[in-house]
Structure 1
Amino acid sequence: MAAAALVLPPVTPPDYHRIVSSTLSVPSDPQTTIPVGLLACQRDPLLRELATTVVSSRLAEAPPQPKRAKKDKSGAPPPPATPLLEVLLHDTVLFPEGGGQPSDIGLLTSADGHVWDVAEVKRIGGHAVHYVKVVEKTVEDALAVFTTGAKVHVQLGDAGLQRRLDHMCMHTSQHLLSAVLEQRYQLDTLSWSLTAYPTPSYVEIPRAMTPDEIAAVQDECNRYVFEGRRVHIEVQELDAEGKNYRTPSKAIPDDYTGGVKRTVVIDGLDRNPCCGTHAPSLHNLQLFLLPHTDTLARGSAASARLLFLAGPRLLAHLAAAHTHLAAAAATLSCGAPQVPARVAQVVDERRRAAKRAEDLELELAAHLARDLLASADGAALVRRRHRTDDGANALAFLGAVATVCAVEAGTRPHTVVLSSAPPAQTPASTTVVLVFGDDERRVKEVGDALKARLGVKGGGKGMRWSGKFTGVWKEAKEGAVVNEILGL
Structure 2
Amino acid sequence: MATAVLLAPSTPPDYHRITSPTLRISDDHKVPIPVGILACQRDPLLRYLTTSVVATSLSQPVAPPTKKPAKKSVIAPTIPSDPLLEVILHDTVIFPEGGGQPTDTGLITTTANSTVWEVVQAKRHGGHAVHYVRVKDGDVDAALLALSPGASVVVSLDQGGWDRRYDHMSMHTSQHLLSALLETRLDLPTLSWSLTSYPSPCYVEIPRGMSPEEIISIQTEANRLVFEGRKVHIEVEELDRSKENGVPTLETGRSVGKALPDDYTGGVKRVVVIDGVDRNPCCGTHLPSIHNLQLFLLPHTEALSRSNTMSARLYFLAGPRLIAHLTSTHNLLTNTANILSCGAPLVPDRVNQVVDERKRAEKRLDDVETDLARFIAGDLINELSRIEGGDGVYKKHVHRTDDSGNVLGFLNAISFALSNQLSSVTKPYVVVLTSSPSMQTNTSTTVVLLVGSDDKLVKAGGEGLKSKLGVKGGGKGTKWSGKFIGVWREAKESTAIEDVLSGL
Place the TM-score, normalised by the shorter chain, in its bin: over 0.9
Correspondence for 2:32: 33
Matching residue within 438, 441, 448 for 2:456:
441
The worse-fitting range, judged by mean Cα deviation, of 50-59 and 237-246 is 237-246
Question: How many angstroms apart in 1 are the aligned matches of 2:30 and 2:473?
Answer: 74
Q: What's the secondary structure of 2:316's corresponding residue?
A: strand
Correspondence for 1:18: 17
Pairing 1:149-228 to 2, within 5 Å after superposition: 149-228=150-229
Question: How many angstroms apart in 1 are the aligned matches of 2:79 and 2:94?
Answer: 25
Question: How many angstroms apart in 1 are the aligned matches of 2:309 and 2:350?
Answer: 41
Asked whether the 8 Å contact 1:190–1:206 carries over to 2, the reply is: yes
Matching residue within 384, 390, 400 for 2:397:
384
Alignment pair present for 1:52 and 2:51: yes
Amino acid at match of 1:94: I
Compared CA separation, residues 251 and 79, structure 1 to 2 (3 A): closer
Question: How many angstroms apart in 2 are the aligned matches of 1:164 and 1:455?
Answer: 57
The worse-fitting range, judged by mean Cα deviation, of 174-183 and 382-391 is 382-391
Asked whether the 8 Å contact 1:19–1:234 carries over to 2, the reply is: yes
Amino acid at match of 2:319: G
Amino acid at match of 2:153: V
Pairing 1:419-430 to 2, within 5 Å after superposition: 419-430=434-445
Measured after TM superposition, the shift of residue 205 of structure 1 is 0.7
1:257-310, Cα deviation, whole Å (9 max, x unpaired): 111000001111111000000011110100011111111123420111111110
1:402-454, Cα deviation, whole Å (9 max, x unpaired): 11111112321232111111112222221111111222222222222222222
Measured after TM superposition, the shift of residue 243 of structure 1 is 4.1
Compared CA separation, residues 205 and 165, structure 1 to 2 (3 A): same
Asked whether the 8 Å contact 1:395–1:432 carries over to 2, the reply is: yes
Amino acid at match of 1:323: N
Alignment pair present for 1:286 and 2:286: no
Compared CA separation, residues 468 and 226, structure 1 to 2 (3 A): same
Any stretches of 5+ residues in structure 1 without a counterpart? 71-77
Question: How many angstroms apart in 1 are the aligned matches of 2:79 and 2:223?
Answer: 47
Asked whether the 8 Å contact 1:250–1:274 carries over to 2, the reply is: no
Correspondence for 2:91: 91
Correspondence for 2:73: none
1:163-216, Cα deviation, whole Å (9 max, x unpaired): 111111100000000000001111111111111111111111111111111111
Measured after TM superposition, the shift of residue 478 of structure 1 is 2.1
TM-score (norm 1): 0.94
Measured after TM superposition, the shift of residue 58 of structure 1 is 1.1
Q: How many residues align?
A: 478
Correspondence for 1:9: 8
Question: How many angstroms apart in 2 are the aligned matches of 1:94 and 1:354?
Answer: 58
Correspondence for 1:105: 105
| Segments ≥4 residues shifted beyond 3 Å | 62-66, 242-247
Amino acid at match of 2:121: E
Pairing 1:252-401 to 2, within 5 Å after superposition: 252-380=260-388, 381-401=394-414
Percent of paired sites with the same residue: 58
Question: How many angstroms apart in 1 are the aligned matches of 2:116 and 2:47?
Answer: 16
Asked whether the 8 Å contact 1:6–1:312 carries over to 2, the reply is: no
Correspondence for 2:251: none
Amino acid at match of 1:474: R
Correspondence for 1:235: 236
Q: What's the secondary structure of 2:7's corresponding residue?
A: coil
Q: What's the secondary structure of 1:208's corresponding residue?
A: coil
Asked whether the 8 Å contact 1:65–1:80 carries over to 2, the reply is: no
1:218-243, Cα deviation, whole Å (9 max, x unpaired): 11111111111111100011112344
TM-score (norm 2): 0.91
Question: How many angstroms apart in 2 are the aligned matches of 1:271 and 1:161?
Answer: 26
Q: What's the secondary structure of 1:278's corresponding residue?
A: coil
Amino acid at match of 2:279: R
Question: How many angstroms apart in 1 are the aligned matches of 2:307 and 2:418?
Answer: 55
Correspondence for 2:490: 475
Q: What's the secondary structure of 1:88's corresponding residue?
A: strand
1:125-169, Cα deviation, whole Å (9 max, x unpaired): 000111111114611111111122211111111111111111111
The worse-fitting range, judged by mean Cα deviation, of 201-210 and 247-256 is 247-256
1:52-99, Cα deviation, whole Å (9 max, x unpaired): 111111111247999xx99xxxxxxx9952111111111111111100
Compared CA separation, residues 453 and 110, structure 1 to 2 (3 A): same
Q: CA RMSD in A?
A: 2.1
Asked whether the 8 Å contact 1:173–1:285 carries over to 2, the reply is: yes
Amino acid at match of 1:337: P
Compared CA separation, residues 450 and 120, structure 1 to 2 (3 A): same
Correspondence for 1:404: 417
Correspondence for 1:73: none
Q: What's the secondary structure of 2:459's corresponding residue?
A: helix
Q: What's the secondary structure of 2:210's corresponding residue?
A: coil
Question: How many angstroms apart in 2 are the aligned matches of 1:6 and 1:231?
Answer: 18
Correspondence for 2:119: 118
Pairing 1:246-257 to 2, within 5 Å after superposition: 246=247, 248-257=256-265
Asked whether the 8 Å contact 1:206–1:303 carries over to 2, the reply is: yes
Compared CA separation, residues 165 and 79, structure 1 to 2 (3 A): closer
Compared CA separation, residues 379 and 400, structure 1 to 2 (3 A): same
Amino acid at match of 2:410: F
Q: What's the secondary structure of 1:460's corresponding residue?
A: strand
